[in-house]
């Protein structure tokens, strides 16, 4: 008020027609006005002593930097998705003359942008606040102004929630934070517990506020957080604890507005005016934060703790987290806590550098206030199995499932269940099939041996072929044929002439083993008639013929096919192929 009084050249402030007069404020203004001469002289002496041009330059440098950042700090507002969708908000703003841009910094006119970390948060330039408060979107609680640090904490909690998991919120400050958490979890059957509301007179006002915003899953607890038993029955389904402890708040660029909106301690204003917090008070705050964090880690059913402050001091941030992890009680039935990386998207190289040690930080700047966020999660029990429903719920919370119903099993699961329901073939059935196959092969082999014993015709060519096939069978093993006596034709064999086996041809019986004969394909080159042709007639060239005969392979190396050929002058009279085809005198 003194700064404002000096800025107006010690003139009385005129009230507007719409402004209500507050008795306490009016009394202070009258006292300042009555001592305006002495105040002006005292301020002049201070400017000479500190070599300052005005009272603004007497303020600490940190306070001046905060005011400079506050003059350009944009406005953040989250969308109440229980009452309106983001697409409807965009269309409504465009109808009112607002244009969507990528960044609102240093831009005039009616513009807005989407936040990179939270999908339901919009950003507006600071000079549009008075205009935005008069539109229906803010009057009907469809858009709510709030600092971005609270939205970051709420979205971090949502990333760890499964179906039917409850949330416990500690030191929430503004009730808009509770409402934002409730709206994000309205589809998960989640209940939001808020502790520390001791005054019963606030309950009707809070219920009225939550009803206007569409929140239905909030339960208020009158006990303070440190007085709540970690084994209380109504809190057994709490899986995530959101801890927003009291802090110095020196990461805030506009501390007065933040204290009023978040219901913080007004005693912090003295620290803000001095540009810092005393060491004794900082130790007291750090001790309170440590007690709340260790008490949150005692809830055995909880699986994650989200810790968020607006401080820039390591004593309130990293030191508290590391001390709690080092001194945590390692029980035999519960898994210990560990530091987890941030679950929020890292949208820039600066975010990655600040989060290198698994802490999410935002330094005070011209676009955001300072923020520190840490996530502690329990180490997963190796014997614990996560259901498919929980995995799908977590994926839906991260926006990975669009239009997929979680209640219906997938087709792949149905096929898997149907496959597992079919009876598997036992080892005894497999052995019986193999025995039947072996018995059939033995029976076929015995019939072939008996048939060869009754034969009386033996040819030298057949004996030679038999010996050769027997020797080659030990070198190369081929796939078993369906019938050992059925010939196999090559690729160049004409299918128009089927092969017929003569009944008078019988294979001789070898002395020691049964040998399987295989057909051999012989391709003869074109043959020119040796006798002279009449004059004027050119010798005719015959088309290539195919000649088949039963022959055994010669002993060859492994991997090569046995082939046989007829030598000149050999008599093919006893071969089976000679009985199938007419004689060829040119051979």
Catalytic residue ranges: 310
Tell me whether strands 304-309 and 238-243 are parallel, antiparallel or unpaired: parallel
Contact (CB, 8 A) for 148 and 170: no
Tell me whether strands 111-114 and 121-124 are parallel, antiparallel or unpaired: antiparallel
Contact (CB, 8 A) for 274 and 339: no
Identify the sign of the CA torsion 484, 489, 491, 495. Answer: negative
Smallest CA-to-CA distance from 321 within 282, 372, 368 is with: 372
Q: How far is CA 47 from CA 40, 55, 68, 270, 582, in A?
A: 11, 7, 21, 21, 134
Smallest CA-to-CA distance from 238 within 137, 168, 169 is with: 168
Q: Which residues contact 379 (CB under 8 A, 6 or more apart)?
A: 335, 336, 337, 338
Total residue length of the chain? 587
Contact (CB, 8 A) for 58 and 50: yes
Smallest CA-to-CA distance from 73 within 347, 275, 361, 369 is with: 369
Rounded distance, CA 32 to CA 26, Å?
10
586: left (phi over 0), alpha (psi -120 to 50) or beta: alpha
């Amino acid at each position: 008020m003194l700064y404002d009084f000096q800025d107006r050249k010690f003139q009385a402030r005129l009230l507007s027609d719409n402004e209500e007069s507050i008795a306490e404020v009016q009394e202070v203004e009258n006292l300042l006005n009555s001592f305006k001469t002495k105040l002006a002289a005292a301020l002049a002496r201070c400017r000479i002593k500190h070599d300052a041009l005005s009272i603004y330059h007497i303020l600490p440098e940190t306070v001046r930097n905060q005011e400079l950042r506050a003059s350009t700090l944009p406005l953040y507002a989250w969308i109440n998705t229980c009452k309106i969708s983001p697409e409807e908000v965009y269309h409504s703003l465009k109808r009112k003359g607002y244009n969507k841009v990528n960044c609102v910094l240093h831009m005039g006119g009616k513009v807005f942008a989407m936040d990179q970390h939270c999908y339901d948060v919009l950003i507006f330039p600071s000079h549009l606040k008075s205009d935005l408060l008069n539109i229906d979107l803010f009057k009907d609680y469809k858009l709510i102004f709030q600092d971005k640090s609270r939205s970051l904490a709420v979205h971090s909690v949502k990333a760890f929630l499964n179906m039917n998991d409850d949330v416990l919120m500690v030191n929430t400050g503004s009730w808009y934070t509770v409402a934002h958490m409730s709206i994000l979890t309205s589809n998960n059957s989640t209940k939001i517990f808020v502790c520390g509301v001791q005054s019963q007179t606030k309950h009707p006002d809070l219920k009225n506020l939550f009803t206007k915003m569409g929140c239905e899953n909030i339960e208020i607890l009158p006990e303070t957080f440190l007085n709540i038993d970690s084994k209380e029955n109504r809190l057994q389904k709490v899986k995530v604890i959101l801890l927003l402890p009291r802090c110095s708040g020196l990461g805030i660029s506009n501390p007065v507005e933040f204290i009023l909106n978040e219901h913080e301690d007004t005693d912090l204003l003295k620290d803000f005016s001095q540009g810092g917090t005393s060491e004794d008070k900082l130790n007291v705050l750090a001790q309170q934060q440590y007690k709340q964090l260790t008490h949150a880690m005692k809830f055995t059913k909880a699986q994650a703790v989200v810790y968020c402050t607006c401080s820039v001091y390591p004593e309130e941030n990293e030191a508290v987290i590391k001390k709690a992890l080092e001194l945590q009680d390692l029980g035999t039935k519960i898994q210990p806590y560990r530091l987890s990386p941030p679950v929020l998207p890292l949208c820039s190289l600066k975010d990655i550098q600040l989060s290198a040690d698994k802490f999410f930080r935002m330094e005070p700047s011209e676009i955001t206030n300072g923020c520190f966020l840490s996530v502690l999660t329990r180490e997963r029990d190796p014997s614990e199995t996560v259901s498919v429903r929980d995995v799908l719920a977590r994926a839906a919370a991260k926006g990975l499932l669009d239009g997929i119903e979680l209640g219906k099993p997938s087709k792949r699961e149905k096929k898997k269940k149907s496959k597992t329901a079919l009876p598997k073939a036992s080892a005894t059935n497999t052995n019986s099939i193999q025995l039947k196959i072996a018995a059939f092969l033995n029976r076929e082999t015995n019939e072939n041996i008996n048939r060869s014993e009754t034969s009386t015709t033996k040819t030298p060519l057949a004996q030679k072929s038999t010996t050769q096939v027997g020797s080659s069978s030990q070198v190369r093993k081929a796939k078993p044929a369906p019938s050992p006596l059925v010939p196999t034709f090559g690729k160049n064999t004409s299918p128009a002439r089927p092969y017929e086996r003569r009944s008078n041809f019988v294979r001789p019986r070898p002395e020691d083993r049964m040998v399987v004969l295989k057909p051999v394909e012989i391709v003869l080159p074109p043959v020119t008639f040796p006798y002279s042709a009449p004059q004027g007639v050119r010798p005719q060239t015959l088309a290539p013929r195919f000649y088949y005969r039963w022959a055994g392979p010669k002993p060859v190396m492994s991997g090569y096919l046995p082939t046989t050929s007829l030598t000149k002058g050999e008599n093919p009279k006893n071969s089976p192929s000679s009985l199938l085809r007419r004689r060829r005198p040119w051979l």
